[in-house]
Amino acid sequence: MPKLVVIVGPTGAGKTRLAIDLARRVGGEIVSADSQQVYRGMDIGTGKATAAERALVPHHLLDVVSPAEEMTAARFAALADAAIADLAARGVPIIVCGGTGLYVRILLYGLFDAPPADPDLRAALAAEGAAALWRRLSETDPESAAKIDPTDLKRLIRALEVHALTGVPMSEHQRRHDFRTLPPRYPSLRIGLAPPRGALYPQIDARVDQMMASGLEGEVRALRAAGFAPPLRSQQAIGYAELHAHLDGAFDLPRAVELIKRNSRRYARRQLAWYRGDPEVRWAEGPAAVDLDSLGGYLRDPDGRAPT
């Protein structure tokens, strides 16, 4: 099977920079594992590689769906598998890069045997609202509730749906499908970027300021003009949800920016907690601390040996 270098870590840690530097070093291409960068028209707020960066290195799984569409983890895995198969057939080194931990895990270890969606049940759950669903999930499956943002309606519905249809909490299904006991679908070398908090948080704040300076508010206005607004799943992403609320009159722009920064920092903590659970991740404080020659050697080694 094709070997992957997988670059993970929190928002603002420098994953894109590292992936591009490595891809240029080895003549590779990048497969994105980001649940928001799949949407067309959502460029600035998702930190998507720029046109200039994509001209340097081809990227896959960017701009694949409309903001009105749903992107599931299973659909992501199918698209990623197809991209990886194409790159392997062409002999191109493959770098997977992204901050969506669930996408990375499913790509490497697959999905548990979950029941199909029940549209009637989903509609009934959605009518209750995220706050009520999170309270219910906290009672029936506190382990899952602790991992899901209380505003993430899609994941809350799925967790409650799985429990209702199988009689088994989502967390128990995931425990039975423990990735630490499963053979990986692809051999991989996993690199995690984890700057110290004192460095990461200022980087996140500066990143948000740069997004605003680059026109994030205008990007959200354009999405609204095209008919894309909450409660669409895509428009509940950090950076978009807060600016939609601002444009709806909930608060002024400085408050929206403050909330984007706060919510981004909180998300970074959740990302780190998720990736810390993977014992195969090799950690570095930033892109400059990663030995690109070692990673390139791994991708080129036909025997698949990882550097020590």
pLDDT tens digits for 64-87? 999 999 888 889 999 999 999 999
Do residues 147 and 158 make contact, with C-beta atoms less than 8 angstroms apart? no
Same domain, 255 and 195: yes
Same domain, 96 and 209: yes
* 18-73 pLDDT per residue, tens: 999 999 999 999 999 999 999 999 999 999 999 999 999 999 999 999 999 988 88
pTM as predicted: 0.85
Residue 133: which CATH number? 1.10.20.140
- If we measure between CA atoms, which residue out of 33, 9, 30, 43 comes closest to residue 234? 43
- If we measure between CA atoms, which residue out of 220, 199, 190 comes closest to residue 43? 220
Full DSSP string of 156-199: HHHHHHHHHHHSS-HHHHHHHT-GGGS--SS-EEEEEE---HHH
Residue 307 within a domain = no
Structural domain that includes position 135 = 119-176
Strand 188-193, strand 29-32: pairing: unpaired
* DSSP conformation class of 250: S
> In sequence order, what are the beta bridge partners of 65?
39
Full DSSP string of 261-292: HHHHHHHHHHHHHHHHT-TTEEEESSGGGS-H
* Phi, then psi, of 92 in degrees rounded to 5: -95, 130
Maximum distance among all alpha carbons in the chain? Answer: 59
Give the chain's domain count. 2
Same domain, 88 and 225: yes
- Of 176, 193, 214, the residue that ends a domain is 176
Provide, rounded to the nearest whole percent, the portion of the chain with pLDDT above 90: 79
Same domain, 224 and 104: yes
